[in-house]
Amino acid sequence: LHYMSIAASIVLLVSLGYWYQQEQQRIEMRDQLVASLDESDTNSSRLEAIYEIEDQFADEEEDEKILHAFFKILKADSDANSKIAVIDALLKFPDNKMVRNELIDALGNETEPLVQLKLIKSVAVLREQRAKAPLKKIIEDEESLPLVKGNASDLLAMLNQ
């Protein structure tokens, strides 16, 4: 019985060591991908990193480091494709309050029509009442395209029901 408990302890230690090593590799890969979002010289390499993160970490809980990197793209990136990819990735966490807040903030600040439309559709899926003010801002903005204004109006009407 004594030898069996020693053997079980050894198996447990080996298993924990293996798990720890796997976890460290996962964290290292995540950090490299997040760093590549900041360091990417081209829109296509940034887009590739976004999709790689989404694929590698799709079944996991929200990772704050990844979320903050995505929020940074949503706020500061000039590429509409990167922003749309980030919005799709963020929508996988509809119950995360931070994600909801960032999407609403982006809706109020975004000027690119394609991204505005994606944000409007996203807020519609979330049925987020706090989006009313940014929607009104889009509707009242003379620079907004008629298609964007129409979608914003439709969503505002739905939220007011």
* Cβ-based neighbour number of residue 129 at 10 Å: 10
pLDDT reported for residue 121: 96
| Mean pLDDT across the chain | 88
User: Which token pair is 60?
Assistant: 């996991």
Distance of alpha carbon 61 from alpha carbon 48, whole angstroms: 21
Please name the residues in contact with 50: beta carbons below 8 A apart, sequence gap of 6 or more. Answer: 37, 70, 73, 82, 85, 86, 89
Q: What is the pLDDT of residue 40?
A: 66
Beta carbons of 37 and 50 less than 8 angstroms apart? yes
For the segment 82-102, the average pLDDT, to the nearest whole number, is 93
pLDDT grade for 96, boundaries at 50, 70 and 90: very high
14 pLDDT band, cuts 50/70/90, is confident
- Give pLDDT, residue 39: 66
Please state at what angle helix 43-56 crosses helix 64-76, rounded to 10 degrees.
150
Among the residue ranges 14-18, 71-75, 135-139, 145-149, the one predicted with the least confidence is: 14-18
